[in-house]
Amino acid sequence: MLPVSFLSDFGYQDEFVGVVYGVIARIAPEVRVIDIGHGFPAGDIRAGALGLLRAVQYMPQGVALAVVDPGVGTSRRAIAARTSWGFFVGPDNGLLGPAVAMVGGADAIVAIENPELRLPVEGATFDGRDVFGPAAAVLAAGEAEFEELGPLVDSGSVTPLMIPLVEPDGSGRLLGEVLWVDTFGNCQTNIAPADLEGIGLGRGDDVMIEIGGAEFRLQWAGAYGDVEPGEGMVHVDSYGQMAVAVRGGRADDSFPLTTRMAITMRRPDGGTRLEITG
């Protein structure tokens, strides 16, 4: 039995997550389901894709079931990808792409079209229950071969999801973007430690960040305890990216930062660090 790692935007106010659990349990009662998370913003494919990307490297090999699917019921395909890590099941909307790439890419992709491996229902708005859940269950339990799910798909026809790259501007400035704001208000960027090192900065140095025309000078700290309470900082987060944080506070409250916002980091040219009080 392979475990199923489950991610969605279903939330917990309704029965949707539990119903998918129930479908998997009825098909393969011994399969273990691990919740990656279900609180991703509704319909936000990029947020779900980045969540799956961050999580997959820590999940046991098996089946990744991901459902953030604003195109449910349309002509978008339901797909499964086979990789050296295991199987990925979800909509063909870019949701699976970054995580599949993280584990080395897929050696085969199929469209989930076999009616014998789908729930027979009239509606077409809950593919997590009717299509993806059953596919994940039979793959996890070994009750069906991968190729039995449906026809092979040309990998070049699968919808990609592009993660923005850091853009050095040639003058020592790194043009980046906020990828994710976590539940504590820490703001992860697409800027990596190596990017900052490439412009001559290292841990303990001050970093000038620019956000929406405003500039802030913050320390590159190793941990929250390296700065004073209420003080802002940049640090390497738990996934290896540079993040903006505030000790004992929320960076998204203290700075004008939101997901997808442009952010620039560079060497300081004078001035003092910003301390947040109040």
Domain architecture of the chain: domains with CATH: 4-157 (3.40.50.10790), 167-266 (2.40.30.90)
Range 210-226 average pLDDT: 95
**Mean pLDDT over the full length of the chain:** 94
Distance CA 146, CA 123 (A): 25
Range 255-269 average pLDDT: 94
pLDDT digits (tens, 9 = 90+) for 221-231: 999 999 999 99
Q: What is the DSSP letter of 165?
A: P
Range 20-49 average pLDDT: 97
* Sign of the four-CA dihedral 201, 204, 205, 206: positive
The helix or strand, by DSSP H or E, that contains position 140, with its residue range, turns out to be helix 133-141
Residue 209 amino acid letter = I
DSSP letters, 246-275, are ETTS-HHHHSS--TT-EEEEE---S----B
Range 255-262 average pLDDT: 95
Distance CA 35, CA 272 (A): 44
- pLDDT score of 270: 54
In 3D space, the residue among 105, 117, 254 whose CA is nearest the CA of residue 244 turns out to be: 254
Confidence of residue 60 (pLDDT cuts 50, 70, 90): very high
Range 66-82 average pLDDT: 96
* pLDDT of 271 over the 60 cut: no
Is the distance from CB of 1 to CB of 58 less than 8 angstroms? no
